[in-house]
Amino acid sequence: MQRLRSVVIQCSAALVLLLVASASRAQDAEPSPECGRAGRPWVALVFSGDGWKKGQTDGITLDLRAGLRLRGIDVCALGASGSEPPLALVQLSSPSPERVSVTIDVHDSITEKRVLRDVDLRRISSDGRGLRVAQASEELLRASWAELALTGATPPATPPPVEVTRAVSDPEKGPPDGMRQLGTRAAIEHYGARATLLGGDVSLTWFFTARVGAEMTFGLRTGLSADAVHGSVDASALVGSLALRLALRPVHERIGVQAKVGTSLSQLRFVGRSDGRAMARERALVASSAYASLVVSAWLSRTVALGVELGPGLPLRAASALDTGRDVMGTSGLELHAALGIGAAF
């Protein structure tokens, strides 16, 4: 069992690393959307200066694209071909690696204004700086368009598209960054020792950066009844878990892919149902396990996301129900789990 446990843990770790690498390669190879096509407004993005780190500009582009895409607006590199001119040109300048700040320069073709902002990144972790620049760029675009909603303001020469009007009139600050999520889910777990547990969880997820976060869950389970020599056994459990979540795509992307590794602790209650030939008994036992999961999620709106989870686990401490010394059901052996849930960003 110890050797099997070691093999499963190593395989789970290798699976997570493989998923991270595959997703990173897929994200780097993700093509830019077709910008400028009729009926699809877009914003042009350009980077200048020598202060950008490798891969940072790609990350900022993806983050800004993810935020504006929820409003129906594309983001593409300057020079993208298409029949429609861009709504605005966003120029991001980082003069040197020593200067921990970025200048955002927006040339707005709708209001015919130019607005600038310096973003100080000294208090932001290196992993979160790209996301902060993308958020600040979107805020500056909205600020430039804000005068469109002012009473008595001179109307622009070209009527703004409905996507811009909605972005200005919407009281929300835009799509959620997804850094904090409260959710609920339906879950199922099946163990090699014939225990199948069904139930639900509540979860709190907190991302420290756009890629790394932690999750805490609490839930209740009820087990499918198992036949025994002298009757049957029912099971129920109180479950809690802690997990590390690794976002393979930025957490606020419309379609998210995450890897999760963690441990769970369960208070199991086995209740024997006698057929009259023996005395029924009840046992309360503690069990724990380590697990890995792949989570795929989709934002249904700016604040609500739907997610599905699937993965393996292995007991660190197993619990079993016995009948005359024989295992009836338990949490030993390889575990397979799945969950379907919904969460809200706050």
Q: What is the CATH number of domain 32-169?
A: 3.90.950
Put residue 39 in one of left, alpha, beta given phi > 0 → left and psi -120 to 50 → alpha: left
User: What confidence score (pLDDT) does residue 25 get?
Assistant: 40
User: What confidence score (pLDDT) does residue 32 get?
Assistant: 46
Q: Are 74 and 148 in contact (CB under 8 A)?
A: no
Q: Of 18, 48, 62, 47, give the one whose Cα is nearest residue 255.
A: 62
Return the amino acid letter for 175: P
Helical ranges in the chain per DSSP H: 2-28, 56-69, 129-145, 162-169
User: What confidence score (pLDDT) does residue 276 get?
Assistant: 60
User: What confidence score (pLDDT) does residue 38 get?
Assistant: 64
Q: What is the CATH number of domain 2-22+178-345?
A: 2.40.160.20
CATH 3.90.950 in the chain is located at 32-169
Residue 270, helix vs strand vs coil: strand
User: What confidence score (pLDDT) does residue 214 get?
Assistant: 95
User: What confidence score (pLDDT) does residue 91 get?
Assistant: 93
User: How confident is the prediction along the chain (346 residues), in pLDDT tens digits per residue?
Assistant: 445 445 444 544 444 444 444 444 444 334 444 676 666 788 999 999 888 888 888 889 888 887 787 777 888 888 766 667 888 999 999 988 777 788 999 998 888 888 999 988 888 888 788 888 998 998 899 888 888 877 667 777 778 888 888 777 754 544 455 678 999 999 999 999 889 999 999 999 998 877 889 999 999 999 988 887 777 888 999 999 999 999 887 776 778 899 999 999 999 998 887 766 555 577 889 999 999 999 999 888 767 899 999 999 999 999 988 877 777 888 999 999 999 999 988 7
pTM over 0.85: no
Q: Are 177 and 156 in contact (CB under 8 A)?
A: no
User: What confidence score (pLDDT) does residue 74 get?
Assistant: 86
User: What confidence score (pLDDT) does residue 245 get?
Assistant: 94
User: What confidence score (pLDDT) does residue 280 get?
Assistant: 56
Residue 207 and residue 244: Cα distance in Å, rounded?
Answer: 10
